[in-house]
Amino acid sequence: MTDVNAESGSGKVLDVVVVGGGPAGLTAGIYLSRARMNTLLLEKQSPGGAPALTERIENYPGFPEGISGYELVRGMRRQAEGFGLRISSFNPLLGLREEGEVKVLQTEEGEIRAYAVILATGMRPAKLGVPGEEEFHGRGVSYCATCDGAFFKDSVVAVVGGGNSAVEEALFLTRYAERVVIVHRRDRLRAGKILQERALSHPKIDFKWKKVVKEIKGDQRVTGLVLADVESGEEEELPVEGVFLYVGNLPNTEELRGAVELDERGFIVTDADLRTSMKGVFAAGDVRAGAVWQVAAAVGDGVRAALNAQFHVENLRGTAYV
């Protein structure tokens, strides 16, 4: 782990701080380090972001057989560190402010000062907000099949949602579970056509169409779901031993409120060059309003944000600020 105090002590100002270690942040780190910018990447967990928990990525260019998310982001990290990128893991951002041309980032290990910042903090799974969800979290309620699927060998589990994440994780769970039930509020899936075809034809996957979860029931662990029909309201119980929730995502921007402009959902507003409302601060990847939630798109954002941050710092040098 990089010594943040050493980086920020004695009034030292870095060129760029990248906040977030997913594909957007790591890509920005690769470009900035290759440009020999004095760059530090902050990550509140181990770098990799949500894709590191994805069992297989099949639509990232250059991997015709697909690649595990873990392997892909591990390669990105090795590449970034090979060019000299310094990473401070398990050091979350607590706040951001500006002092003239300098941006001041407050972290658990102290303040860090930089001339430019790239915010690539990503998203987290949204909560369903029903009785039993919090009570049984970690005892049958999960938001990550790749993390927890092996605990449900020969079990009946439910996956709530109909998008790409829900269907990908349902397919992954068939490796362990006896049966997987996809619960979706619509009468058809929203996932990509290939994923739909695989799920609809899989012998271990069943469907509960036009149903919503009203309650997660259990004793010491999850024992079932109370489902309601979206049209009639009629309720039924579905016995399951686990439930995996994929009902949307929330941006990781709580610490940025009041610092940069956010949209009504909390995503960071940027212009075409990924500039935020604070001069010298850019946003990249899934946390950006209007972003396409794909690894390839996040990588592209990381490139653009890095080049613009580099230009910003070099322009300051030209005006004798740096």
Q: Catalogue the active-site residues.
A: 144, 147-148
Query: Who contacts 275 (Cβ-Cβ below 8 Å, separation ≥6)?
Result: 281, 282, 308
**Of 69, 60, 56, which Cα lies nearest the Cα of 175?**
56
Query: CA-CA distances (angstroms) from residue 72 to 54, 56, 85, 122, 301?
Result: 10, 10, 17, 17, 17
Side-chain-facing half-sphere of 7: CA atoms under 13 Å: 26
Query: CA-CA distances (angstroms) from residue 303 to 209, 268, 300?
Result: 41, 18, 5
Are 249 and 286 within 8 A, CB to CB? yes
DSSP 295-306: HHHHHHHHHHHH
- Give SS3 for 136: coil
Tell me, what amino acid is at 289? A
Bridge partners for 180 per DSSP: 157, 205
Share of the chain residues as helix, strand and coil, in percent rounded to the nearest 5: 30, 30, 40
**Which segments within 82-155 are labelled E, that is strand?**
86-89, 93-99, 102-107, 110-119, 123-125, 141-142
